[in-house]
Amino acid sequence: MTTAPNTLAPSEATLNWCRKLIAHPSVSMTPNMALIEEVKAHLEPLGYDCLVVRDDSNTKANLYATIGPKVDGGVILSGHSDVVPTEGQNWASDPYTIDIRDDRLYGRGSCDMKGFLACLLAKAETFKNANLRVPIHLAFTYDEEVGCLGVPSLVEAINNLPHKPAMCIVGEPTEMKVITQHKGKYSARAHFTGRSGHSSLPGEGVNAVEFASQFVVFLRQLGRTCRDEGPHDDDFVPNHTTFHSGVINGGTQLNIIPQNCFVDFEFRNLPNHDRMELKGQIFDYLDNTLIPEMCETYDDVGVEIEVVSDMPGLATGDDEEVTKLVMALTGANTTGKVSFGTEAGVFSAMGEIPTVVCGPGNIEQAHKPDEFIELDQLGRCEVFLDKLIGALVK
C-alpha cells in the first residue's frame, strides 16, 4: 500500500479490521450478533471485561468492553456497528468487501463508522499493555441509523455499574474535528383513522387523507415559524429547528373515502430549543383542533402517534474536561456544531456523561454508493488514540 505525500498511512491492523467489520452486512434492524461475537472474541483474551447488552429478540446487542483499573473515571470510545442498506445504489465494487484505491478505502460503513471501530480494535492490545491510571471503555452499539435505538439500553447498563466513566468520545465522522453540539431529533408516524364511504357522499365519511394533509400543512407552518422567529444559531446549517414530513400514504382508490392515512414526520431541534415545548405544540394541535374536527360526526375516528425515535441534542461546554482533552489531543483551537444527530446526546442526557464527537472521515461520504474513508483519516485517528493513551497512563 502506498499513500500520497504528507498523508498518514494507517496500520495493517486497522486495514485488517476494516476488512473484517465491513464484511459483516450489519444493516440496521437486522442481527449484528456475528459482528459483536467476533469483536468480543478478540477482546476477552486480551483481558477486557465484556458486557453484552442484548435486545428483546436476542439477535442484536451492544458491547461494552473495559480495560484498565477498576476505578471511577476513564473514557468511553463509542461507535455504532450498524450501517444503512445498499439496495438501489450503484456501487463500483462489492460494498461488503473493502477496495483500496486512490488513497481511499471503499466499503459500506467505511466512513460511518466502521473505520473508527477498526482503529479501536487495532489499538486494543496497545490499550491493554499501557499502564493506565483510569480505564478505557470500548462501546459498540446497534441500530443507531434508525434512531439511536440500541444505545439507551447500553447507557442504562452503564448507569448500573459500580464505576462511572468520566467522559465519552463518539467517533462519528468529523474529520477529527471536535464537535460539542448537535441537533436533537424526534421522529414519529401519525396514523389517521377516518370513516370509509362512497366519494359521491363525502359528508357521510371522514377523509383520513384530508385530515392528514392538514397536519402536514401545520408541521410546515411550525417549521416556517422556527425559521422566521427562531431561536437561531448561525453555527448550525440551517440555523434553526426544522420540521419535515417525509412519507404520506393513504387511500385505496379514487371513488372511496379513505379510511386510513399514515404520515411519517420529524423535527430536528437546536440543542437549546425546548423539545417538550415542540412536542407539546404538535399534540395540542391534534388534541384540541384536528381530532375534535374529525369527531364532529363519528367518535370512532382519530389519530394515533407512534414514536420512532426521540434523540436528545448535544450541548457540551468548552470548559468541560472532555472538550479540553480532545482539543489538546487533536491540536484544535475551536469546537464545532453539526446538524446531524449522534448517540452523544444519549450518553450526555441519559448517562450524564460529558461527551464530544470526534472521529475519522467526512459525513458527506456517509450513506452514499461507493462510500469511502480517506486512508489519511484512519492514520490520523490512530495518532489521536496513541496520544489519548499518553494522557491516561500513570
Residue 4 belongs to some domain of the structure: no
Which structural domain, as residue segments, surrounds residue 17? 12-182+313-392
Mean pLDDT score, 361-377: 97
Residue 5 belongs to some domain of the structure: no
Looking at the predicted structure, is the pLDDT value of residue 4 above 60? no
Exposure letters 28-67 (e unless 16+ CB within 10 A, then b): beebbbebbebbbebbeeeebeebebebeeeebbbbbbbb
Residues 246 and 205 in one domain: yes
Closest CA to 143 of 54, 80, 216, 222: 80
Strands ordered across the beta sheet of 242-250: 242-250, 260-269, 184-193, 302-311
pLDDT at residue 96, rounded to an integer: 98
Residues 164 and 34 in one domain: yes
Question: Where does a domain end: 310, 332, 358?
Answer: 310
CATH number for position 80: 3.40.630.10
CATH number for position 302: 3.30.70.360
pLDDT tens digits, residue range 315-328?
999 999 999 999 99
Question: Where does a domain end: 310, 343, 374?
Answer: 310
Residue 32 belongs to some domain of the structure: yes
Q: Which residues are catalytic?
A: 82, 144
Domain count, the chain: 2
C-alpha cell at 38: 467476533
pLDDT at residue 6, rounded to an integer: 62
Mention every residue, 6+ apart, whose C-beta is less than 8 A from residue 331: none
C-alpha cell at 343: 448517540
Question: Where does a domain end: 274, 292, 310?
Answer: 310
Query: Percentage of the chain surpassing pLDDT 90?
Result: 96
Residue 1 belongs to some domain of the structure: no
Mention every residue, 6+ apart, whose C-beta is less than 8 A from residue 247: 262, 263, 264
Residue 6 belongs to some domain of the structure: no
* Residue 169 phi, psi dihedral angles, 5° rounding: -120, 120
Residue 380 belongs to some domain of the structure: yes
Residues 144 and 129 in one domain: yes
Looking at the predicted structure, is the pLDDT value of residue 2 above 60? no
Residues 298 and 333 in one domain: no
Residues 285 and 274 in one domain: yes
Looking at the predicted structure, is the pLDDT value of residue 101 above 90? yes
Residue 171 belongs to some domain of the structure: yes
Residues 343 and 233 in one domain: no
Q: How far apart are CA 263 and CA 213, in angstroms?
A: 9
Residues 208 and 302 in one domain: yes
pLDDT tens digits, residue range 19-52?
999 999 999 999 999 999 999 999 999 999 999 9
pLDDT tens digits, residue range 64-86?
999 999 999 999 999 999 999 99
Exposure letters 327-359 (e unless 16+ CB within 10 A, then b): bebbeeeebbbbeebbbbbbbbbbbebbbbbbb
Q: 0.85 cut: is pTM over it? A: yes
Residues 23 and 172 in one domain: yes
Q: How far apart are CA 109 and CA 118, in angstroms?
A: 11
Residues 41 and 94 in one domain: yes
**Position 1 confidence tier, pLDDT thresholds 50, 70, 90:** low
pLDDT at residue 7, rounded to an integer: 76
**Position 333 confidence tier, pLDDT thresholds 50, 70, 90:** very high
Q: How far apart are CA 293 and CA 129, in angstroms?
A: 68
Q: Which residue has the cell 404520506?
A: 248
Residues 21 and 144 in one domain: yes
Residues 51 and 157 in one domain: yes
Residues 90 and 160 in one domain: yes
Residue 327 belongs to some domain of the structure: yes
